[in-house]
Amino acid sequence: MLAEDGGDPAERHKELLHTLGNLTLTAVNATLSNHPFQRKQDLLSVSHLELNRQIAGTSRWGAKEILARAEDLADRAIRLWPGPAEVHQVEKARDWSLLHRALAALPMGAWTTYGEVATLIDSHPRPGLGHLPLGRHRSRRDTGRVARRWRSPG
């Protein structure tokens, strides 16, 4: 069918193989393999997933159909999982030197909170977590409980 669309079918196959429009969820991937579309239709027609049955109900599976399905799946995904109302500019880089100096000044076993680290670097607590050296410092939540990351198995 890709040959009927014009151009080099092997090149077109390579181009469309791992795309959203050609995606299926199935436990029989090895069985589907590179079989002709008619054989795949038989296997997908008994699928319990509506998206696979739609492929099985299609009379042909060429580039036009794969691209149209990609558009449809993308539209569905956008409707199901809309993006944020506001888009904030992602910070490209941060100077971590202040945090590193502060951590170096803390004595071994000293306590801090993620919130204190965040305040120091004017950030949300998450970005600073990767900079806290394991085993050297301990962290507690603002509630006073030991943060899960720092609990020992005992």
E runs forming strands in the chain = 111-113, 138-140
**Using an 8 Å Cβ cutoff, are 137 and 106 in contact?**
yes
For the chain, the domains span 9-80, 97-145
Q: Which amino acid is at 25?
A: L
Q: Which amino acid is at 10?
A: A
DSSP state of 146: B
Task: Reply yes or no on whether the pLDDT at 106 is more than 60.
Answer: yes
Q: By percentage, how much of the chain surpasses pLDDT 90?
A: 2
Render the burial of 68-102: b for 16+ CB within 10 Å, e for the rest.
Answer: ebbeeeeeeeeeeeeeeeeeeeeeeeeeeeebeee
Summarize pLDDT for 13-26 with one digit per residue, the tens.
888 888 888 888 77
Summarize pLDDT for 114-147 with one digit per residue, the tens.
778 788 888 877 776 666 665 544 555 556 565 5
Tokens of 32: 């589907």
pTM for this prediction: 0.49
- How far, in Å, CA of 70 to CA of 86, rounded? 26
pLDDT given at position 133:
60
